[in-house]
Amino acid sequence: MLKLGVNIDHVATLREARYRGRQDGEPDPASAARQCEAAGAHGITAHLREDRRHIQDRDVWRLREVVQTRLNLEMANTPEMVGIALRLKPDIICLVPERREELTTEGGLDVVAGETALKETSRRMADAGIEVSLFIAPEPAQVEAAARTGAGFIELHTGAFAEGFANPAHRAAELARLSRASEQAHGLGLQVNAGHGLNYENLAALLPVPHLVELNIGHTIISRAITTGLETAVRQMLTLMAPYPG
């Protein structure tokens, strides 16, 4: 069964638009997480960014209290974030690149260049009982380097697939690239997640990619929830994912 991790960052984005700098406000990411789990989500993802543009420190601690499935903390590989993760003890972390000027995470980690530092973080997390995923582009060198770090998971960046989805040739090329990367990772003993830009229109086309364990999806679910409600939006996504052959 293909699992769904719901990214709730943009619940906090909406709250911060009105209540930034305050210790209260709505909507509440923890309440949203409980609704997602009630609807069948297999995990909750939250990205604690260096600039705290959406999720705040208090949110991740509250999420650690309420999440009953699997808490995935997206984070940059910095001393501050490593320290927070070791205290928080999420079930898994996903290490991502981060730039202040970006609207959202724009690319995959350069694991080849950062292999030594990523090995050290993976070791520290393993010692604390926390699983590690690396958010990478579907490139052979990055997959190979990811396997050397000791991380148990990769998350394939599906942004190029999503952005070029309207072009059949581009879509086919990206689908092939993702499939090759997933096969390679599986052969190296890595578990494979995927995410970025996936939505209700393009998800079905991704299902031929083999060996996928979990999709991490956020913006499209939170957007649809405005008109359908959050639980309905989650259930509709799960329905689209149900045909995955496993």
| Residue at 198 is within a domain | yes
Q: Give the chain's domain count.
A: 1
For 86-113, letters b (16+ CB in 10 Å) and e give: eebebbbbbbbbbeeeeeebebbbbbee
pLDDT at 106: 59
For 42-80, letters b (16+ CB in 10 Å) and e give: bbbbbbbbeeeebbbeebbebbbeebebbbbbbbbbeee
Residues of the chain with pLDDT > 70, as a percent, come to 96
So which residues are the catalytic ones? 47, 74, 196
Task: Answer whether residue 60 shows pLDDT above 90.
Answer: yes
Task: Answer whether residue 214 shows pLDDT above 80.
Answer: yes
pLDDT at 102: 47
pLDDT at 100: 53
CA 163, 72, 68, 211 torsion-angle sign: positive
- For residue 41, name the pLDDT band (cuts at 50, 70, 90): very high
Question: Tens of pLDDT along 74-117?
Answer: 999 999 999 999 999 999 999 999 765 544 555 799 999 999 99
| Residue at 228 is within a domain | yes
pLDDT at 38: 98
CATH number at residue 149: 3.20.20.70
Alpha carbon distance, N-terminus to C-terminus of the chain: 6
For the chain, the average pLDDT equals 96
Instruction: Using alpha carbons, list the distances in angstroms from residue 8 to 73, 126, 140, 155, 220.
Output: 11, 25, 30, 17, 11
| Residue at 65 is within a domain | yes
Q: What is the mean pLDDT of residues 141-155?
A: 98
| Residue at 58 is within a domain | yes
| Residue at 246 is within a domain | no
CA gap 66, 30 in Å, rounded: 7
Domain span holding position 38: 3-241
More confident site: 102 or 121: 121
